[in-house]
Amino acid sequence: MKIGRDYQLIVTIIKKGFAERVVNAAKAAGARGGTILHGRGVGIHEQKKLLGIPIEPEKDIILTLIHQDQTNKVLKAIVQAGQLEKPGTGIGFVIDVDKVVGIVSLLEKLDDEI
């Protein structure tokens, strides 16, 4: 088990259909991959209507576990690919990770580099 604050989780919530583009950009910037989840927006700005019926827009949620040394570079690529600098396209945030298990190949690669 790797213990410490060496890793961070980049969480990106974007409009459905942008996930592959964001994951590919993150990988090009140094990430080893990501996990794509599907969700729906329920915020006050998410309510759209079709013929008077409320529609909750579908979202893609991307989880990218990254070594803290690569976070800024990968986050910048995610912002660009997901067009997060434009209003209403989505959000991204970074969470510190205390413990990491189950990613042996990533841990071994980083140990070799450090």
> What is the residue-averaged pLDDT of the chain?
82
Q: Give pLDDT tens digits for 53-79.
A: 655 678 999 999 999 999 999 999 999
Q: Are the C-beta atoms of residues 29 and 66 closer than 8 Å to each other?
A: no
Residues 6 or more apart whose CB falls under 8 angstroms from that of 67 comprise: 6, 7, 8, 106, 110
**pLDDT exceeding 90 applies to what percent of the chain?**
53
pLDDT of residue 74: 97
The list of the chain residues with pLDDT below 50 reads: 1-2, 112-114
